[in-house]
Structure 1
């Protein structure tokens, strides 16, 4: 009986001691708060090189054929002979029925003698400024002579008046008379800046050779 009372007294004392001094006897357990650290990520944008647009490729089923271009050919036209050049063209043999004179024909003078009566006509060597061509019409190649393959030349004599127009043009000589009319007609259409002597425009006597030649292919 005494033992039960003593045990009960001890148990009661322990309970009271625990209530009074329990917080000092048992250390306080501290709970560390979880701290979340958010790391800031620094993103650097790298500039990308500019991409060039690729050329658009158009597919076609058509076969590409090479162009067959022939070299341009010159027409058979009369040429103006240059005073500082000499060109000897190969002439084909004359066809049957066409007579070619061995020497150059002297053409009689056909001019208007009264046109420049009382006026002095100057030679080129006497001028301060020689006539300058402004327009030169090309002669027409005579059809019969071209078909026959005949070349030739004509020396045309004429006067350039104070207006720059051609007067009294005629064939002084020629290799074939068939070329004379075409040469004279062409030169008669030429225009010049008149020759000058002593500060004024003057009539000028001139000569020009017109060469008719067939271009070789």
Structure 2
């Protein structure tokens, strides 16, 4: 056998053996990653307090009696004695008694009896050469109850105008309702005039005025 042929066969077998060994070599498995264990810390919870249960009191079915009784009117006719409408006469003041300056005196004479007494140079309005001229005339206040009831009325007031043009005295001559008298007097007392004249000089004048109360106005 040829020597060169033998060498070629040996070399060929070596090469094949090398390739086969390389393919059959197993790849080593990868190293396992180190598993890290996580430490879990458990906290100890405080003990829970027991909830107190509220006790609900049951409503009593007892009926409470009303001690305070409502007032009641007795349907019995009241007897009014006759002397209840009489007023005893006040005794006269003792001798030497003088009333204070601030005291209010109520006249006991009839209206018009002494009206204008003690005023000198007093004339009726019809006797003047020049009659008074009104400067301020305030309307009377209508009584509330009379207006609400729709009641109309009239009042005739007599008054005296002095030399300054002021109203110094007033009185009611006649009226349809007494409720209108006081408002009429209070209004006339606030009136102002240009004084009347007699013989070229100012004088005191006695005059009268009709005041009407109309609920629709």
TM-score range, shorter chain: 0.3 to 0.5
TM-score by length of 2: 0.47
- Max Rg structure: 2
TM-score by length of 1: 0.47
